[in-house]
Structures are given as C-alpha cells and as structure tokens.
C-alpha cells in the first residue's frame, strides 16, 4: 500500500468516526423525534459510508471490495428511507414538532 492510499484511508476513517459521533450525540441529546431523525439519518449514513469506503480501499479477501461498496450503497439508500418512514408516521399521527419554550427565547 502506497502513501497516498494510506493517507486516504486514514482521512476517511477519521471523517467517518467524526460523523458517527455527531449522529450519536444528536440521537441522544436533541429534543424530539424529528430533530433526532434529522441528525442520526444523515450523519450515520455519511459516517458508515466513509468507514466502508476506507475498508474497500484497504483491500482484503476476494471480492470484498465490491461487497463493501455494495454495503455503502445499501446504507445510502436505506438509512434516509427508514428515517423518512418513521418521521412520516409520526407526522401523520399528528405529532407536533418541538418548539423552544417562550421563557428561554433570546
């Protein structure tokens, strides 16, 4: 493995972990389902996709690169779709979005 590949793998792994940490923090800390889905679906999709592409660059057993890229494509499609279905179900059941309480508005 040459230096450029190693640098790309390290950069993609660091980016992926950063996005995964952001998505998890959003899922834990944000106030309602809509904002939580907003944080976790996008950040987790990008984070997991970055880590999987880094693994595909690393190489491994036979045909693993194609399978890793297939996994990245699968996550890109399924993560936002799932979040959309859940948020739509909450919206159609009449859930109201969270608002900042009036006494804490700037």
Partner 1 sequence: MSSLLWAVATAVLLLAFGCLWRANAGPTLQDRILAVNVVGTKTLVVLAVLATIAGHGFLLDVAIAYGLLNFVISLAAGRFVETGRLSSEAPP
| Number of neighbours of residue 24 by Cβ within 10 angstroms | 15
Residue 43 buriedness (CB in 10 A; 0-12 / 13-18 / 19+): buried
Min CB(2)–partner 1 separation in Å: 13
User: Euclidean distance between the first and final Cα of the chain, in Å?
Assistant: 54
Q: Which is nearer to partner 1, 8 or 87 (CB)?
A: 87
- Can you give the binding site for partner 1, defined by CB under 8 A? 10, 13, 17, 20-21, 23-24, 27-28, 33, 36-37, 40, 44, 48, 51-52, 55, 58, 60-64, 67-68, 70-71, 74-75, 78-79, 81-83, 85-90, 92-93, 95
């Amino acid at each position: 493995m040459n230096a450029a590949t190693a640098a790309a793998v390290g950069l993609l792994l660091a980016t992926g972990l950063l996005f995964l940490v952001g998505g998890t923090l959003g899922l834990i800390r944000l106030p309602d389902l809509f904002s939580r889905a907003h944080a976790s679906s996008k950040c987790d999709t990008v984070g997991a996709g970055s880590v999987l592409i880094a693994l595909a660059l690393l190489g491994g057993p036979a045909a693993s690169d194609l399978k890793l890229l297939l996994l990245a494509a699968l996550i890109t499609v399924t993560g936002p779709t799932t979040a959309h279905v859940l948020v739509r179900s909450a919206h159609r059941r009449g859930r109201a979005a969270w608002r900042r309480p009036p006494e804490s508005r700037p």
